[in-house]
Structure 1
């Protein structure tokens, strides 16, 4: 392998790693804020007690599910070769959606000399832009 190809692969992997790190950091910040908000509410208000009966626990679980319904917690990654003359499955599509199917599709297309990254908004499990077969597969894989 020539050094230019190796350099290109390293750059693509670095960009992909950076994008995944940004997504992970964003999700961690959202989760930390929600956790702190819920924990802070219970810590500040002594009147809020966790229920001990089954009906109360079910109500608490239902409230937690409703609170987390908009969390981007469903994801799927599809790796593929975007071009027939290249191997290694360096291109990928990532779907990050909440329970209602709202979220984002991230796609990175790896070529010989460059890599391009695209983001598409997803609302209700559909997208205004046309999806590639790989993006549609990622979105279907994220669906619970």
Structure 2
């Protein structure tokens, strides 16, 4: 189960890195560091622009591990919330039973979900909130 979480997080990190590289190359016109402003005002504008861009990144994460069933121990079930600053993202849940495991994904918009959330999913979202 942790391998699935690691793969999902690695894929999200790769996608965010590629997006950041593409945006940086586009903004500087492909000229690299030499094209960056040298004055303090220009640097402040660059910092403000980077902060605005990072608001959309999925950077608020939380994992809640638990026993979904009384006859299965070891906290093998889990809920993972991956959200941006506005509370948009996804909560992934894997329910581990004695003979099978099921995985669910629910979209989160403005820190809430149209579908009913389990207490563990609610807890993961609350822990991910800044």
Shorter-chain-normalised TM-score: which range?
A: 0.7 to 0.9
Partner of 2:91: 105
Which residue of 111, 116, 119 maps to 1:125?
111
1:43 Cα deviation after fit: 5.1
Greater radius of gyration (CA): 1
- TM-score using structure 2 length: 0.86
CA distances 1:62-81 after superposition (whole Å, capped 9, x unpaired): 11011121111110000000
Separation (CA, whole Å) in 1 of partners of 2:42 and 2:116:
45
Partner of 1:87: 73
- Tell me the SS of whatever aligns to 1:44: coil
- Tell me the SS of whatever aligns to 2:20: helix
Question: What is the total number of aligned residue pairs between the two structures?
Answer: 129
Which residue of 106, 111, 120 maps to 1:134?
120
Bigger mean CA deviation after superposition, 28-37 or 112-121: 28-37
Within 5 A, what are the aligned runs for 1:11-26?
13=1, 16-18=2-4, 20-26=6-12
- Tell me the SS of whatever aligns to 1:35: helix
Separation (CA, whole Å) in 2 of partners of 1:79 and 1:19:
12
Aligned-residue CA RMSD in angstroms?
2.1
1:60 Cα deviation after fit: 1.6
- Tell me the SS of whatever aligns to 2:99: coil
